[in-house]
Structures are given as C-alpha cells and as structure tokens.
Structure 1
Amino acid sequence: MSYRLPPLTGIKAFEAAGRHLSFKLAAEELSVTPGAISQQIKHLERALGFPLFHRLHRSLVLTGHGEALLPALSDAFERMSTAMDAVASSLPTKRLRLGVSPDLTDDPHRLVATLTKTGQAPDYLQVSSTDDVASLLSGALDAIMRPGPGPYPGMHSEVLNLHHAFAPRHRASLVVWPGLAKCREFLKARSLLSSL
C-alpha cells in the first residue's frame, strides 16, 4: 500500500504558514526564504487543484479547504514530533527565544536556571532580559514574559501566577505568536515557567 499524498515539502510549508498565517514566519521556522514557502505552497495548490490561502495585501487568510486541512496536518506533525522525541531525543531543535521583562526579575538567566535540575537554562530556551514587544513583533523574539495580563491583540497570551523569590510580581503574561503556541519548545517553556 502506498500513501496518497502530494509533495511533503509543500505540506510542511502549508502547515507552518497556516499556523502563523505568514510566509515570513513560516520561512523563519523552516529555515528557508519566504519565496521558497510561497513556491512550495503554490506547487501544493496545483497538485491539489484548489487554493489554500487568500493572499491579501499584507496578510494571509485560509480558504475553506485550507481551514479543513490545517488541523489534521498540524495534529499529524505534532504526533510525528512526539514519536521522534520518544525514540530520538538527540534530534536538534530550535531554541525558543524568550524575552523576560526586567520588571519581573533582575536576572532572567538565574530565574530560569533555578527551575532546572542542572542549574542552567535548558537547551531549548534562549533567555534575554527585555520588555520590548517590538522585538516579538519583528521576529527577534519568539515569546516574551511581561507583568500583568495584557491585552495583546493578535497574539496568543497566557497568564502565569508566579510564586518564586526571583519573580516577586505575582502575575505575568507569557505572549507568543499564535503559530508557536503549540510548538514543543513553547509548551516546555510554559510548563517550566508555570512552576515559578
């Protein structure tokens, strides 16, 4: 038996672009150019015989077909990633670039390091001290932890209750692009930071 599938590079490009609703952010995630993402998706759309996105002036919107396809593909990639983690934990991963507001702690590296058994920031996390939402919007950061609940329109935001000595404030928002809200690095970081 063979699987009835269009080109896998196009499927991967579509899934990333669909999560982010951005060719640019999908390209950053997959380490290719936005033009490559666009071409892979166009090739996939030709193979399928229908469009997956409405390409607007400065944004993407999923078509009905795209909306129907994205959840199943995201679930399939998530299950493949979980299976790979179980048997090949040494596979390289990208680091989640996390900014931590100086208003939450004077030393974000020490804060994160105290939460781990090794006393060092985990390998899936790159921590910097910043409160600059513009760094998140420009793509210089993947996520940011700031005091208070927000609001952060267009972003995925979760309120954390902090109880750690290095984080004297009691509530913070962990803000991330919606397309990264289910990535394993973000989920691991959220779990780690939730234990503050």
Structure 2
Amino acid sequence: MSYRLPPLNGLRAFEAAARHLSFTRAADELSVTPGAVSQQVKSLEGVLGITLFRRLPRSLILTEEGEAYLPSITSAFDLISRATEKSAPALRGRKLRLGVAPRLLKPATAAARKLRQAAVGNDAVMLKLTDDLAELLNGKLDMLLRAAGGSHPGLHVDRLVLAGADATPAVLLTFPGLAGCREHRRLIRRLQEAT
C-alpha cells in the first residue's frame, strides 16, 4: 500500500510548534533553528494547501484548520512512539537510564526534594548521579539532566527551569530517537510538575 504523506519533518515541526505556540520553543525541542521550524511548517502548509497558524509578532495562534489537524497528528506520533517501544528490543524490558547532575539534587530545598522524587519515583527509570556528557554519548545513559549551558549538537534538548532560590536553568538531553517516547514525555511532565 502506498501512503500519501506530507514531509515528516514538517509534521514534527507543526506538532511541536502547535504544542508550544512558538517556533522558538519548538526549535529548542527539536534542536534546530526557529527559522528551520518556520520553513518546515510553511512547506507543510504548501503541501496541504491550508494555513495552520496565524503568525503574530511574538506568538502563534492555530487556525481552525490547524486545530482540526493537530489531534490526528498527535495521535499518529503517539501511535508510532508506542509501536516503537513495543518493537524496539533495546528499549523493551529495561529501565530508562537517567543521569542527574549531583548539584541539582544536593540543596536541601523543597524543589530539590520534588526533583529527586520526580526522577526516582518512577519504576521505569534508573537514576545515576552524574554530570558526565560522555556517559550519554557512549550509550551508558539514555538521558542526562544537568545545568543549562553549552551546545549539544545531535542531541534533543528540553529546557527546564528548576524552581528554588536560584531558579536553576537545566537541560534534559537525549538522542532524537528516544525523545518523545512515553517515558521521556512522562519524565518531562514529572520534572515540570516538580519545578
């Protein structure tokens, strides 16, 4: 069977931009530039023959067509993610290996306790205290939560601000193929709720 599909990168850009209502935040999530997200969405709109967003000076608004299209695209990505989790032998039956920079968990603050609980209070996640990017790059970790800073080419970056006295900017790093899996989304949600 031959499928009539628009460009998948355009669909990813649309879904992320629609979730954030921002090309900039979508770009951060996808590890590309805001201009690239904008171009991918514009290309998708051209293929579909519809306008998905109203572009305002500092924000986006989904059009009626965009609102109608989004739930199906989100469901399709969720279905692909679930199928991958079921089928990928490397992921099946093992815990997600999360590295967390020790300095993010050390302060005796309510925010640090919540962060520790979010990271550890998940049966599917194995926690290791480390800030070593090499462990992620060498495959010893699936994700690494560390203080923000530096560039991370080739990695998926989720930017977070950890609440507390210093409102620490942090990043959750992972490889693009793992970004968006159910455990990744669940961990992001828990970390956001903890901050």
Residues 166-191 of structure 1 deviation map (CA, whole Å, 9 limit, x = unaligned): xxxxxxxxxxxxxx999642414657
CA distance in 2, matches of 1:186, 1:143: 17
Where does the alignment leave 5 or more consecutive residues of structure 2 unmatched? 130-140, 148-156, 165-178
Q: Which residue does the alignment assign to 1:84?
A: 84
Structure 1 residue runs without a partner (length 5+): 129-138, 147-179
Equivalent positions of 1:66-145 (< 5 A) are 66-88=66-88, 90=90, 102-104=108-110, 115=121, 120=128, 123-124=142-143, 126=145, 141-142=159-160, 144=162
| C-alpha separation in 1, matches of 2:161 and 2:5 | 34
The aligned counterpart of 2:39 is 39
Matched AA of 2:25: L
Cα distance change on mapping 1:36 and 1:104 into 2, 3 Å? same
Flag the 1:54–1:84 CA change in 2: closer, same or farther, 3 A: same
**Taking structure 1 as the reference length, what is the TM-score of the superposition?**
0.58
Q: 1:110 to 1:184 in 2, by over 3 A?
A: closer
CA RMSD for the aligned pairs? 4.4
Structure 1 residues 18, 103: CA separation in 2 closer, same or farther (over 3 Å shift)? same
Structure 1 residues 6 and 125, CA, compared in 2 at 3 Å: closer, same or farther?
Answer: same
Identical columns (%): 42
Contact 2:6 2:47 in 1 (8 A): yes
Which deviations, in whole Å up to 9, do the C-alpha atoms of 1:18-77 show, x marking residues without a partner? 111111111111111110110111111111111100000100000000000111101111
Within 1, Cα distance between the matches of 2:182 and 2:28? 14
Task: Tell me the equivalent position of 2:132.
Answer: none
Tell me the matched-pair count.
151
2:184 maps to what in 1? 185
TM-score if structure 2 supplies the norm length? 0.58
Q: Secondary structure at the match of 1:141?
A: strand
Say whether the 8 Å CA contact 1:15–1:74 is kept in structure 2.
Answer: yes
Moved more, 28-37 or 106-115: 106-115
Determine the C-alpha separation between the residues in 2 that align with 1:56 and 1:88.
41
Summarize the Cα distance change of 1:97–1:67 in structure 2 as closer, same or farther, 3 Å threshold.
farther
1:56 maps to amino acid: L
